[in-house]
Structures are given as structure tokens and as C-alpha cells.
Amino acid sequence: MDLRGRNLLRVTDLTRDEFLHLVDVAALLREEKRAGHRQNRLSGLNVALIFEKSSTRTRSAFEVAAHDEGAHVTYLGPGDAHLGRKESIRDTARVLGRMFDGIEYRGSSQDAVEILGANAGVPVWNGLTDAWHPTQMLADVLTMRDHSSKPLGQVSCCYLGDGADASSLLVTAALLGFDLRICAPGTLPPSPGVEAMAQTLAGRSGARLTVTTDIAIAAAGADFVYTDIWLRTTAPPEVWDERVSQLRSYTVNADVMCATGNRNVKFMHPLPSLHDTQTDIGRQIYQRYGLDALEVTNDVFESSASVVFDQAENRLHTIKAVMVETLRRQP
Ligand code: CP
């Protein structure tokens, strides 16, 4: 499998085999790191990390992965580069491509990462846009593989929350052929374009895709219950009211976990999560709505079923796999 020079801008940039290859490589790199072996496969390479939005996991994963393999990173945080303000994204891509061997981009705009990818001449990786989060999907699939004895094609996953926020998961399930039930309020369905794309992919992979408003239907027999943050941290409190009123029946709680009927069911969340009042926003939510959790209750988040921190750690190993495989030198 040769991924040298490739971009990762959206989930569909990978074939099923390429996706699973990266997950396999990540598992090997994880073993290697845990055994204390270092290979310096990216020695002497330079990587730019463009973050137009904040990040804990994605930034840390890129930085640690690069350092583990001997590469250097330059962090360009919100407002650090002229990007799109005083210099076009296309010009920025052509400049950074002359200096760096790979570029990570996080920001709202999928167009921005696509323009970087088309013009940099070096691999560009999407570290989250409003449309796609492909590196998260690699970590999620590695985590599912770690926590299920079933072949991926027999795994079932129940997603609760805003259907439009599940685009990457929907297309990943469709690409890899697992059973995904999206359970969302009727007012927050998956994007029709993404659902159509997923159904086409599912026709080839055998994935079973369900979109429902009914938690009992979505949860029955699930191996994984998955949710995502309801409130983007940049959203002002005025937009919270509508989100909370639309989504409040879709909190993952003990009843939802029980509705799976699966004693081994696992809980997944890409994080960050508003599951208690230990954050500024969590406290504001409690004062505004009397809710001490949003998308998942604290008892589920802290339960033995929760694999969220394995999922977070797997961001490191999978992002390292992406960099190693796309930046790999000729043997
Ligand atoms: N899941 C995720 O992308 O986390 P960060 O926002 O911390 O990078």
C-alpha cells in the first residue's frame, strides 16, 4: 500500500483498504511506542500545523507523533498567519509547500483545506473542518477494533445527537461496511447529500445504515453508543436554547445504554464533552437550564463502558500513521 504524497482532506479520500491499512499501521506504531522503540521515520522533515480554532487532542497528537518520529513542527495558531486575510489561501499553500513537508489544517472551511491540498504540493491533512474530521474516524475505528471481538462488518454502532454532525461517521460506516444507526431529532437529520453518498458506498460495502428519531430502534443490540458535543464552544449562549431544546431527549444516559440489551456495550465520544459542571460552559448550562450534563450523563461518561480516553489516545497513533505513510521516503 503506497500512500506517499497523498492528502487526507475528507473520509472519501481513502478506499476501504487504505483506511484499514492506516488503522493497522497505527496499531503497530502503538505497540512500538509502548515497547519504547523509536524509528525516527520522519527525521529531518518539517510539518506545519495550522489551527484557526482551538484543539487539545488533534494538536497534541500531531505534535507528539511528529516528535516521536523525529520531525519538527511549526504551530500557526488562530491569527498567526495571514491566511485568507492578507494573503490568499492559494498563495499561502504555495509558500508553505516550499518550506514544509506536510501541512495540517483545522478551521471552519472545507474549501480552505481543499485549496491548501490542491496547491501546496505536499501532503495536507484535515484536522477538522465543518464538513469532515477524517483523522478522528481513523482513531474511532481503531478504538472499535480494540473493544470488539467481532469483525468490523458485524459491529453495530448507535449515534445519538445532531444528524448533521455525524457526516464523517456515516460515511466511514458506509465505506467500511458496519451497521450504523443515526438517531437524531427530525429537525436535525444528516445532510441529504452526505446521506446519499453514504447510501451509494453502502451499496458496495454492505453497510447497514439507519436514520431514525427512535432511540429504542437505534440502540437495540448496539456494540457502541456514540455521541458528540452539542454546543460548539464558539457558539454564543443565545444559540444554545434551540440546540438544547432540540437535543435534550437524546442525551446518552444509563437508560440508553440499557436499551442496547448488550452487557458489553461501550460508550464513545470524540471529546471534549459537557458531561458535568467542571467547565465554565458546563456551569453556565447548569445555571441556564438546570442540566448538569448535555450529550452524556456523568455516570455513563465515567462508567467502565466508557472508552473515550482510549479513543483520545488513539488520535496519536492514527495521526502518526497518516504522517508516516504519506511522508514516507522511498525505501
Ligand atoms: N476530538 C477532537 O478533535 O478534539 P480536539 O478539538 O481537542 O482536537
Tell me, yes or no, whether 124 lies in a domain. yes
Same domain, 212 and 318: no
Is pLDDT at 234 greater than 80 in this prediction?
A: no
Tell me, yes or no, whether 169 lies in a domain. yes
Report strand pairing: 124-126 vs 156-160.
unpaired
Q: Using 50, 70 and 90 to split pLDDT, how confident is the model at 229?
A: very high
Same domain, 322 and 278: no
Is pLDDT at 331 greater than 70 in this prediction?
A: no
Same domain, 152 and 208: yes
Q: Find the CATH number of the domain harbouring 236.
A: 3.40.50.1370
Tell me, yes or no, whether 219 lies in a domain. yes
The whole domain housing 27 covers: 11-133+314-327
Same domain, 156 and 54: no
pLDDT of residue 161: 98
Tell me, yes or no, whether 212 lies in a domain. yes
Same domain, 184 and 301: yes
Same domain, 22 and 167: no
Our answer on whether the CB atom of 58 is closer than 6 Å to any ligand 1 atom is yes
The overall average pLDDT reported for the chain is 96
Our answer on whether the CB atom of 271 is closer than 6 Å to any ligand 1 atom is yes
- Contact between 271 and 226 under an 8 Å Cβ cutoff? The reply is no
- Pick from 56, 143, 316 the residue to mutate for probing ligand 1's pocket: most ligand atoms within 8 Å of its CB: 56
Our answer on whether the CB atom of 56 is closer than 6 Å to any ligand 1 atom is yes
Tell me, yes or no, whether 216 lies in a domain. yes
Which residues, including other chains, have CB under 8 Å from residue 305's CB and lie 6 or more apart? 257, 265, 266, 267
DSSP three-state, residue 227: strand
Same domain, 127 and 187: no
pLDDT digits (tens, 9 = 90+) for 263-285: 999 999 999 999 999 999 999 99
What's the domain count of the chain?
2
Q: Which residue reads 467500511 in cell numbers?
A: 176
Same domain, 184 and 61: no
Whether the model clears a pTM of 0.95, i.e. scores above it, the answer is yes
Same domain, 54 and 162: no
pLDDT digits (tens, 9 = 90+) for 58-72: 999 999 999 999 999
Q: Using 50, 70 and 90 to split pLDDT, how confident is the model at 53?
A: very high
For residue 121, give Cα distances in angstroms to 6, 40, 134: 10, 23, 20
pLDDT of residue 233: 65
For range 282-300, the mean pLDDT: 96
Is pLDDT at 24 greater than 80 in this prediction?
A: yes
Tell me, yes or no, whether 26 lies in a domain. yes
